[in-house]
Chain A
Amino acid sequence: MADAFFEVQGLTKRFGGLVAVDNVSFRIDQGEVVALIGPNGSGKTTLLRLIMGVLKPDSGRIIFKGKDITRHRSCDIVKRGIAGTFQVVKPFRNLPCIMNVMVACMVTKAKRGEWTKRLAVKARDALEFVGIADLSLERAAVLSHGDLKRLEIARAISTEPELLLLDEPFGGLNPAETDLLGKSMRRLHKGGRFGRLHSEEMVMLIVEHKLMDLMKIVDRVLVLNFGQIIAQGTPEEIASDNKVIEAYLGKGVILGAS
């Protein structure tokens, strides 16, 4: 079998006695948009943090484009072409939005020492893409939650990743914002040039709590529960899968039943 674009093999992470991610294996092929769903505490965020190198796995391997990237440092993983956004947005609060994005722009070309002005042009394109170019000179601390989420995405796409990991991108957004963000994602996936930003069929792994918002965007869904993958398939299959419904609602769905 040919090498997958991105593959996770038997990944396990324990926090003390709790097995947060339990022997998880899956693969993502070129050109796919995959959703990773699961109830609260099922290990979705931990899995993303393992992939990004923030946490080190206890066992298992992560393979990206044929190269083993398990246990690499985050900065090296980003350089290889994986970028992620996080559930809890953490901007550099005292810096203007544009500077926040410029930091991420630096990775694409190691042209350090270049005057910051050059990066600013590219950073502005990223902000324009996510639709907050008018806020580019505001300090990140004054942004609303929805705008911060978009800033986070602008930062992630400025590293021009081939694989984009999004952790609850729709969390806390209103329906209009959700719609807008969904559109941006489809544009990213189709690929092309956005000003100076380049994207080529960006492969995405979107972590969400609910499947509803993602139905139209994703090709395939992975369902995680208690750190294990319990189902995978097309969104339609998953929506009617008994095991998935059970995971979300509990067995029998009767009040008081254990």
Chain B
Amino acid sequence: MLQMILLRGAMVGAVYASLAVGFSLIFGVARIVNLAHTAFFMLAAYMLFTATSMLGLNTFLSIVISIVLVTAVGVACYKAFLERIREHEGAVILMTVALALAFQELMLLLFSGVYRGVAPFIAGNVDIIGVTIPIQQLLIVGITAVCLLAVAAFLYWTNLGLAVRVTAQDKEVTNLMGINGNKTAMISMALAVALAAVAGAVVAPTYVVNPYMWAHPLVMMFAAVILGGLGSMKGSFIAAFILGYVEVLVVFLIPEGSFIKGAVALAIVVVILFLRPEGLFGVTFEEERL
């Protein structure tokens, strides 16, 4: 029981974490509130479905293709729609909502509303710390963990990563040191969408793939970002796991009430925000400090 909660919570948390960290990254660097973030997550699931079930490609090749394609779509959306209106925050929010709805309708047109499924990457179960779980669930934790570590390594160990991090701190000063703010924004967009795509691809076998599957993760991702403190990637990461475990605990403790798992998680967010309005790891931005 306890082991099961640990593993399931890690799985749900890992998915929310890769979404929330990406969202925080774009928000921090480019000040873009990307409501289309989980739409990319949905796109990746559909791409994987198309590649494996419709085109019959090899699973791992399909995963790579869908992640690369979705990232390309994300960067194209940024270049085409978001870059020129970046200064106007309200317009950006409207634009991202429009993008999310457009993707949803596009998927409805292409695949209809029928629920689709994707086969697990590796079928079968595995025994671990005394419980038996599908290998797919372990893969979810493993793959998202590797991708999050890769993003962290990029941000903390490379020059370009440093450029991205300082843009998040003070755009104007960074610009005065010769760093192109549009370029760092694009890089963070690419990284964030790639993380969302990875999450979308790895969870596809455990989800029902449908055009509305972006809505629930969007709410939970938002909750994680707010709980962790807007703009803090570390906060988003930790908060995502908190919410993941809360959801899993609710399902395990009151199985007949599992439909309230989202509500309980959000209630906890509300309570914490009463105690710490800036979130767990809230950061103040340079321009707001003045």
**Residues in A lying within 8 Å of B, measured CB to CB:** 52, 54, 73-76, 78-79, 83-84, 90, 92-95, 99, 102-104, 106-107, 111-116, 119, 155, 159
Contacts and interface: CB of A to CB of B under 8 A. Distances in A.
Contacts of B160: 112-113
Given A102-B162, A155-B177, 10 more contacts: A74-B172, A75-B179, A75-B181, A78-B177, A90-B286, A103-B179, A106-B159, A106-B178, A112-B159, A116-B161
A116 B179 contact: no
Q: What 9 pairs between A and B have smallest CB-CB spacing?
A: A107-B178, A78-B178, A104-B177, A74-B175, A112-B160, A75-B180, A92-B169, A90-B173, A103-B166
B175 A73 contact: yes
Given A78-B177, A159-B178, A92 B158 contact: no
B157 A103 contact: no
Interface string B156-197: 011111110010011011111111110000000000000000
B170 A54 contact: no
A159 B177 contact: yes
B163 A103 contact: yes
B162 A75 contact: no
Nearest to B174: A103
A77 to B, nearest CB: 8
Contacts of B166: 92, 95, 103
A107 B179 contact: yes
Contact of A92 (B173, B176, B181): B173
Nearest to A108: B178
Which of B157, B163, B170, B177 has the most chain A CB within a 10 Å cutoff?
Answer: B177
A73 B161 CA distance: 22
Contacts of A76: 180
A90 B176 CA distance: 11
A114 B160 CA distance: 8
21 contacts: A54-B172, A54-B176, A74-B172, A75-B177, A75-B179, A78-B178, A79-B178, A90-B170, A90-B173, A92-B166, A95-B169, A99-B162, A106-B159, A106-B162, A107-B178, A113-B159, A114-B158, A114-B159, A115-B159, A116-B157, A119-B159
A63 B155 CA distance: 37
A112 B286 CA distance: 25
Contacts of A79: 178
B277 to A, nearest CB: 21
A74 B170 contact: no
B159 A116 contact: yes
Contacts of B161: 116
A84 B173 CA distance: 11
B176 A74 contact: yes
Contacts of A99: 162
B176 A116 contact: no
A112 B163 CA distance: 9
Nearest to B156: A116
Given A90-B170, A90-B286, A92-B166, A78 B159 contact: no
Contact of B158 (A104, A113, A155): A113
Nearest to B187: A112
Nearest to A99: B162
Contacts of A159: 177-178
Interface string B255-286: 00000000000000000000000000000001
Contacts of B176: 52, 54, 74-75, 78, 83-84
Contacts of A115: 157-159
Contacts of A104: 177-178
Contacts of A113: 158-160
Given A74-B175, A159-B177, A94 B169 contact: yes
A79 B183 CA distance: 15
A103 B172 CA distance: 13
A113 B157 CA distance: 9
A113 to B, nearest CB: 5
Contacts of B169: 92-95
A125 to B, nearest CB: 17
A88 to B, nearest CB: 9
A54 B172 CA distance: 8
A76 B183 CA distance: 12
B123 to A, nearest CB: 39
Contacts of A112: 158-160, 163
Nearest to A104: B177
A72 B163 CA distance: 20
A104 B163 CA distance: 9
A116 B177 CA distance: 16
